[in-house]
């Protein structure tokens, strides 16, 4: 799929059919993450691909549990067939930006390969300690976010996005 078409058509998917994703496709997504820019090219990331049902169910159960906090969106991610955890070394002040750049590459790669994805961060934070233990993450590394992946039950319409004219300024900031 052409890049701009992929960007245009990507959207967060939170309901999946449960059909598995081939390992090669998951590897290609992580490969796209690996190629993202990072501050001073430090690449202090690791990616854990979760496909085993009992681990997926544990993580999804914790996503469900977060829904009681109304600040989090409805990221149940039912039927997700894989989750990629983006694990970062907190080596410099840019670890969140670096991990986010990798995550966006993964979301776009997933779409280009025909899969749905959802960036889950708000629902990871309250359970980070539990997930660190579940995934055997060593000291000094943080789970920045997780990406739920799968075959979408349906592709929903894009949520409303601001118009280009609302946010584009040429040469200097101008009030609309």
Ligand X SMILES: Cc1cc2nc3c(=O)[nH]c(=O)nc-3n(C[C@H](O)[C@H](O)[C@H](O)COP(=O)(O)O)c2cc1C
Q: Kindly tell me which of 6 and 122 has the beta carbon lying closer to ligand X.
A: 122
> CB nearest ligand X: which residue?
75
Confirm or reject binding of residue 142 to ligand X (CB under 6 A): no
Q: How far apart are the first and last CA of the chain?
A: 35
Select from 75, 79, 99, 150 the one that contacts ligand X (CB under 6 A): 75
Q: Which of 30, 103 has the CB closer to ligand X?
A: 103
Rule CB under 6 A: is residue 122 a binding residue for ligand X? yes
Query: Considering the rule CB under 6 A, would residue 159 count as an interface residue with ligand X?
Result: yes
Instruction: Sort residue 106 into left (φ over 0), alpha (ψ -120 to 50) or beta.
Output: alpha
Quote the DSSP letter at residue 169.
-
Q: What is the DSSP letter of 46?
A: E
Question: What SS3 class is residue 140?
Answer: coil
- The four Cα atoms 24, 27, 31, 32 give a dihedral, to 10 degrees, of 80
Instruction: Give min distance, CB of 172 to ligand X, in A.
Output: 28
Q: Which of 6, 7, 11, 130 binds ligand X (CB under 6 A)?
A: 11
* Chain contacts with ligand X (rule: CB under 6 A): 11-12, 14, 72-75, 118-123, 159
């Amino acid at each position: 799929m052409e890049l701009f078409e992929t960007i245009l058509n990507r959207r967060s998917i939170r309901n999946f059919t449960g059909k598995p994703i081939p390992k090669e496709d998951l590897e290609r997504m992580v490969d796209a993450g690996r190629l993202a820019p990072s501050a001073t090219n430090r690449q202090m990331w690791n990616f854990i691909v979760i496909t085993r049902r009992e681990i997926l169910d544990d993580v999804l159960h914790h996503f469900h549990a977060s829904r009681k906090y109304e600040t989090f969106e409805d990221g149940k991610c039912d039927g997700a067939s894989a989750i990629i955890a983006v694990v970062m070394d907190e080596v410099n002040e840019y670890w969140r930006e670096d991990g986010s750049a990798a995550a966006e590459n993964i979301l776009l790669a997933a779409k280009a390969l025909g899969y749905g994805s959802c960036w889950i961060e708000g629902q990871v934070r309250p359970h980070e300690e539990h997930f660190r233990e579940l995934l055997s993450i060593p000291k000094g590394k943080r789970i920045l976010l997780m990406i739920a992946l799968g075959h979408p039950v349906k592709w929903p319409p894009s949520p409303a996005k601001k118009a280009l004219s609302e946010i584009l300024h040429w040469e200097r900031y101008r009030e609309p």
